[in-house]
């Protein structure tokens, strides 16, 4: 019998290798792109009367998550050989580490050439109007996206994989994508209500685990007190109760400020974001690597527990 911990760990490590080598292909047939088109079809408020939008949103949020996660769950039922072959590709669909770094790097590169182009690139990462932003505010938009999406795009799906397998990672990816597309306080508020609440719930524990790993990293490099102070002072400035945790820790630990004009300012700028960018990327890599280690330990412990239950 193949050890489940070995299979699970191999799938995880192979998925990480695929991510670092290939990143995320820009294809309309990428599973998350297909998911996005499905959400865009039913997530148009004009399709539904206002009194039906919330119940329809609840029903279709559950249905979409179930439909998207179906192939991932099926893969785990087809035996360890299929899981070893297909699992890394399926798990890679659920997280985006390299792409997160690439997006910030593209904005940095664009800023050296043309501010308008950089503004347009930053506008693909955040929902705010980037047209009036200064160069530093454009950098803030890009690096805020990196800091916040550390949980959404890397650590949370990996943590759910380590506990619940491919199906858990896929459900999280589907819910987070629905929240990203529909979780706004505009005409989509009723349709997106269920996805936004579920995303908050699913992200609660991963955000705090990631926060602990970040805090350990900053203590290790001598910036723990600054990260802790900023966490306590600024984590609630950003709307929601998860995203502010990695943003505040990274801002304080690196010594930069994240600013959404007229909405919030997180951290005190000891250095500029141009100077602090490499430190932000290093912190994201440290937190991601720490999460991978934690996931491997979790997979081992879950396999041991499963064996004892069978005995």
* Tokens of residue 119, six digits: 């503004």
> For residues 121 and 61, what is the distance between their CA atoms, to the nearest angstrom?
29
What pLDDT is attached to residue 26?
Answer: 81
Q: Which among 79, 88, 43 is positioned nearest to 61, based on CA atoms? A: 43
Determine contact, residues 133/119, Cβ cutoff 8 Å: yes
> For residues 13 and 156, what is the distance between their CA atoms, to the nearest angstrom?
16
Coil, strand or helix at 259: strand
Residue with tokens 């997006």: 103
For the chain, how many structural domains are there in total? Answer: 1
pLDDT digits (tens, 9 = 90+) for 1-36: 568 889 999 999 999 999 999 988 888 889 999 999
What does pLDDT average to over the chain?
93
- What residues have CB less than 8 Å from 272, skipping those under 6 apart? 136, 139, 256
What predicted TM-score, i.e. pTM, was given to this entire model?
A: 0.94
Domain extent, residue 246, equals 4-310
What pLDDT is attached to residue 1?
Answer: 57
Long-range contacts of 234-242 (CB under 8 A, 24+ apart): 234/264, 234/265, 234/266, 234/267, 237/264, 237/265, 237/266, 238/148, 238/264, 238/266, 240/200, 241/200, 241/204, 242/151, 242/200, 242/203, 242/204, 242/207
What pLDDT is attached to residue 2?
Answer: 67
What pLDDT is attached to residue 310?
Answer: 66
- Per-residue confidence of the chain (311 residues) as pLDDT tens digits? 568 889 999 999 999 999 999 988 888 889 999 999 999 999 999 999 999 999 999 999 999 999 999 999 999 999 999 999 999 999 999 999 999 999 999 999 999 888 999 999 888 888 788 888 999 999 999 999 999 999 999 999 999 999 999 999 999 999 999 999 999 889 999 999 999 999 999 999 999 999 999 999 999 999 999 999 999 999 999 888 899 999 999 999 999 999 998 889 999 999 999 999 999 999 999 999 999 999 999 999 988 887 777 65
- Region at 23 (left for phi over 0; alpha for psi -120 to 50; beta for the rest): left
Percentage of residues of the chain with pLDDT beyond 70: 99
Determine contact, residues 161/91, Cβ cutoff 8 Å: yes
pLDDT digits (tens, 9 = 90+) for 184-199: 889 999 999 999 999 9
- Region at 303 (left for phi over 0; alpha for psi -120 to 50; beta for the rest): alpha
> For residues 93 and 176, what is the distance between their CA atoms, to the nearest angstrom?
13
């Amino acid at each position: 019998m193949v050890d489940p911990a070995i299979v699970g760990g191999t799938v995880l490590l192979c998925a990480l290798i695929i991510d670092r080598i290939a990143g995320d292909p820009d294809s309309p047939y990428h599973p998350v792109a297909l998911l996005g088109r499905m959400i865009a079809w039913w997530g148009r408020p004009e399709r539904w009367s206002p009194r039906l939008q919330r119940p329809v949103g609840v029903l279709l949020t559950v249905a979409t998550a179930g439909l998207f996660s179906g192939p991932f769950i099926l893969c785990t039922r087809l035996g360890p050989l299929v899981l070893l072959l297909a699992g890394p590709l399926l798990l890679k669909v659920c997280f985006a580490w390299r792409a997160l770094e690439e997006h910030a790097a593209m904005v940095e590169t664009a800023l050296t050439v043309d501010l308008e182009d950089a503004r347009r690139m930053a506008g693909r990462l955040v929902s705010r109007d980037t047209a009036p932003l200064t160069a530093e505010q454009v950098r803030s938009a890009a690096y805020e996206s990196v800091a916040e999406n550390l949980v959404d795009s890397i650590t949370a799906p990996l943590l759910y994989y380590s506990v619940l397998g491919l199906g858990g990672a896929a459900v999280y990816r589907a819910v987070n994508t629905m929240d990203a597309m529909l979780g706004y306080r505009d005409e989509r508020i009723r349709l997106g209500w269920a996805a936004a609440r579920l995303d908050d719930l699913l992200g609660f524990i991963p955000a705090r685990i990631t926060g602990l790993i970040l805090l350990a990293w900053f203590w290790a490099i001598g910036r723990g007190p600054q990260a802790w102070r900023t966490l306590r002072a600024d984590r609630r400035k950003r709307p929601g109760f998860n995203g502010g945790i990695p943003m505040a820790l990274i801002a304080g630990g690196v010594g930069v400020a994240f600013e959404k004009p007229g909405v919030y300012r997180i951290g005190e700028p000891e250095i500029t974001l141009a100077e602090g960018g490499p430190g932000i990327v290093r912190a994201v890599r440290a937190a991601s690597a720490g999460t991978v280690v934690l996931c491997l330990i979790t997979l081992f412990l879950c396999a041991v527990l499963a064996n004892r239950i069978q005995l």
